[in-house]
Amino acid sequence: MRYSGTILAFAIVAFTASAQDTRNVTEPVIPPSCAVLTAKLPAKLSEADENRPDTARIQDALDRCAAGQAVELKSAGDVRAFLSGPFQLRAGVTLVIDGDAILYASRNPRDYDVSPGSCGVVNKGGRGCKALITGDHVAHAGVMGDGWIDGRGPSTLTGQTVSWWDLAQQAKVTNLNQNCPRILVLSHADDFTLYRIRLRNSPNFHVAYNGGNGFTAWGVIIDTPKAGRNTDGIDPGNSTNVTITHCFIRAGDDNVAIKAGLPGPTTHITVAHNHFYYGHGISIGSETDGGASAIRVSDLSIDGADNGIRIKSNSSRGGLVHDVVYEDVCIKDTTNPIYMDSNYSFRGEATDKLPVFTDITLRNVRIIGPGKITLDGFDASHRLGMLFDNVALDSPKAVKISADHGEFTLGPGPVNFRPAGGDIHIEGVPGKGAPNACEDKFVKLPVSFEAQ
């Protein structure tokens, strides 16, 4: 096997801390192959190629592979592509996509139907599509390699005149639900690994990880245009011991969204050494009724996003979010660099699921360019609690600040702004010092891929 790791040549790093991912996470290793499947399609698919799927042979190889080994998808010169509808990963088995290979998702909604005709439509119900790749109770499995998985979100669907993303936009304007597949949906998949894989153009979320213990995304590249509505990058939820590291993510929605809905909780999360570009930033929520805690975000750049550091929920899905630390974060040219939103997409009257965001620490955070900081607690009994320690605005006059129902501590490091608003209490005395060093934080996305 040949893997071009020069672009993502990371040193082996171990992460250990009691309040974040409790595992000792080191750089993954690609396992030996049990089977090598050679591409039969060109990088640019013709209409005839659309009728030559590889789904069955990929699934057959995964089914036959022994635990601890990998099924490798390999290019053959200019013949680089595989085409597939939904398939299932297996416990202990890794799917490896070689650096020159491309796995294209089928454009045919019928391939993804949960029930006849349920995918590729807009309706009230939603949830009508299978994922391209599903891992259900597949412990110790993974997806690795330097190749691409292209969900083909902007491509015209078979038998229709619209794309997946057109359906997503239609759902938005009609206040209905889109039925579009995700690339990777992983449920109760303990010790799952994404390593160096490149994802693009998902019709919906790129990666959803739910209900597991142990998830590592290392060196993953996600590159999807802003036009892709609801194309979150990586969304862990109802899980523990998650590490997302050395990743490069630009997407049409949240770069990373830590979900914490029922049954919950979501805890012991490490997001370290990453670069985010356009998108909706590093988010917690909007579901928080299961509880979110022990989250550490460090060594992060956010460049040109709609949102930077964001926690979002509302009275229909809120709960306790606490013990969250953001440290060594550089945010540039972002509309809402800090956004604490207790009334996100408010629906109906208040219930007993009220959001509480407290014990939230920002340390060594620098904001470059204009924007708006929103610091809103839910009400006087459910207040926002935050500590700002060496948090600097490069252009204080160009950043608007609103706050409500908050308890804020400033210092001991410098803070060159002061929250203002109704029902807030501020204590602490900011010190003196230099802002966080961000000169080397902002780097270009390492690679790009011109999809169909």
Distance CA 192, CA 165 (A): 28
- What own/partner pairs with CB < 8 Å and gap ≥ 24 does 426-434 have? 428/387, 433/390
Is 410 in contact with 429 (CB distance < 8 Å)?
Answer: yes
What is the full DSSP assignment across 70-107? EEEEE-BTTB-EEEE--EE--TT-EEEE-TT-EEEEP-
DSSP designation for 152: -
| pTM (predicted TM-score) | 0.95
Q: Per-residue confidence at 212, pLDDT binned at 50, 70, 90?
A: very high
Residue 263 has phi, psi (to 5 degrees) of: -80, -15
Instruction: Give the end-to-end CA distance of the chain in Å, rounded to a whole number.
Output: 27
- Determine whether 173 is exposed, middle or buried from the number of CB atoms within 10 Å of its CB (0-12, 13-18, 19+): exposed
Enzyme catalytic residues: 253, 280
| 350-354, 423-427, 431-435: the lowest-pLDDT one | 350-354
**22, 95, 339, 343, 406 from 402: Cα distances, Å:** 36, 47, 10, 14, 11
Residues in the chain: 452
Domains of the chain (ranges; CATH) run 1-253 (2.160.20.10), 294-438 (no CATH)
What number of other Cβ atoms are within 10 A of residue 167's Cβ? 26
Residue 151 has phi, psi (to 5 degrees) of: -75, -15
- Region 114-140: mean pLDDT is 97
Sign of the Cα torsion 245, 13, 298, 242 reads positive
pLDDT one-digit tens code per residue, 91-123: 999 999 999 999 999 999 999 999 999 999 999
Q: Per-residue confidence at 8, pLDDT binned at 50, 70, 90?
A: very low
Tell me which residue of 419, 399, 417, 392 sits closest to 408, measured CA to CA. 419
Distance CA 26, CA 216 (A): 9
Q: Tell me: pLDDT of 5 over 60.
A: no
Distance CA 179, CA 182 (A): 10
Q: Tell me: pLDDT of 4 over 80.
A: no
pLDDT one-digit tens code per residue, 344-376: 986 656 577 999 999 999 999 999 999 999 999
Q: Which two tokens stand for residue 307?
A: 């949102």
Sign of the Cα torsion 134, 137, 138, 140 reads positive
Q: Per-residue confidence at 447, pLDDT binned at 50, 70, 90?
A: confident
DSSP designation for 110: G
Is 45 in contact with 104 (CB distance < 8 Å)?
Answer: yes
Distance CA 196, CA 198 (A): 7
Whole-number pLDDT of residue 345: 83
Distance CA 368, CA 436 (A): 11
